[in-house]
Amino acid sequence: MKIKYKIISALILLGVLFYILMKLDLDRFYGYLAGINVWYVVMSFFAFALYFLIWNYRWKLSLFKLCRTSSFRLLPILMAGVFVNHVTPGAGTGGEPVRVYYLAKFTKANRTNLFALTMLEKLFSTFVFGALVFFSVFYVAFFVDIDIILKSILLTIIVVAVIIFLFLIFFYRGGKFSFRKLFLFDRVLKLFYSSKIFTKFIRKYKTFDGFRNFINREIDNSKLFLKDLMKNKNFVVYSLLLTFILWFFNYAAVYYSFSALGFEIKIIELIVVYSISVFVADLSIFPGGIGLMEAVSIGLYNAFGIPLEIATLATLLNRVVYYLLALGVGYLCLTYLHFRYD
């Protein structure tokens, strides 16, 4: 049944992409392509680079109670985790165990607490991103003239976002629901367990159930540590502030992609489209949401009145620059760590 669902989803995605391709005016598309301002492409690259550097700095700050290490040593581990996030389905959780695995290689910190802090980063990001998605969907549903069916879908997304937020509250308060179900954690763990990247570590667990029980036990043991850390208001405020700055550079990279084509996009439209697209991609069965995010972005930009050729080219330009770092640099970092530490 799962295979059928994946096949159907892939066919629908291919159909949407084919429909977009058929509607493109290729002459106009190639005209915009030939007139790209390379300077803004470079600016987009640096915006994404700053995004990852600030993320790395936020991670370093979160480790202050466990260990002291340089940002230079953390960066390849972060990028390796980013790469794994994009080659596994789900809401970008596959890279967190990878980061903990390699960080524990050269620190004496408790592995459980390292995992807890790494997941706490995910919760900070989810909280900020959830607020951005809620705002974006609310804006489109109530202030943009769209089809009633699409409006119903967006209202459903609002409900889902509220449910996710409640799940996170339940997790923090020790309720029955947990982020493990929310982020399809079992599916991610299966992919991690069946991979050939960490055979030396996983070899200790003869069955997947044993490996899963170990991870779940680590998560449960980390809750007390997290709750104590969350009492530090300065840490919480600073982490949230850095998370907002991260998203600022994410949006800036998208803005520069449109500027490279000589198009002035409205900031509100950029925030709305990019936030919804990332949210939909996180829920997809496709690794990293590749393909689906691009299709949603192009469709929404066009719905806001942006010419299809500009929407398509700006989206592709933005994703190529991003994947150059996330997948290209990420893969090189993962390979480096594998040969050095495994």
Hey, how many other C-beta atoms are within 10 angstroms of the C-beta on 174?
Answer: 11
Q: Looking at residue 8, what is its pLDDT?
A: 52
Residue 214 near residue 205 (C-beta atoms within 8 A): yes
pLDDT digit string, tens, across residues 20-79: 667 777 788 788 888 899 999 999 999 999 999 999 998 888 787 677 777 888 899 999
Alpha-carbon gap, residue 164 to 282, rounded angstroms: 13
H/E stretch holding 295 reads helix 292-303
Instruction: State how far the alpha carbon of 29 is from the alpha carbons of 124, 253, 259, 304, 313, in Å.
Output: 39, 21, 15, 18, 7
What's the pTM value of the predicted model, to 2 decimals? Answer: 0.77
Residue 288 near residue 11 (C-beta atoms within 8 A): no
Residue with tokens 């044993």: 210
Given pLDDT bands bounded at 50, 70 and 90, which one contains residue 314?
Answer: very high
Q: Looking at residue 278, what is its pLDDT?
A: 86
307 three-state secondary structure: coil
Given pLDDT bands bounded at 50, 70 and 90, which one contains residue 271?
Answer: very high
292 three-state secondary structure: helix
The secondary structure of residue 198, as a DSSP letter, is S
Q: Looking at residue 263, what is its pLDDT?
A: 92
Alpha-carbon gap, residue 204 to 258, rounded angstroms: 50
Instruction: State how far the alpha carbon of 70 is from the alpha carbons of 1, 22, 57, 82, in Å.
Output: 47, 50, 9, 19
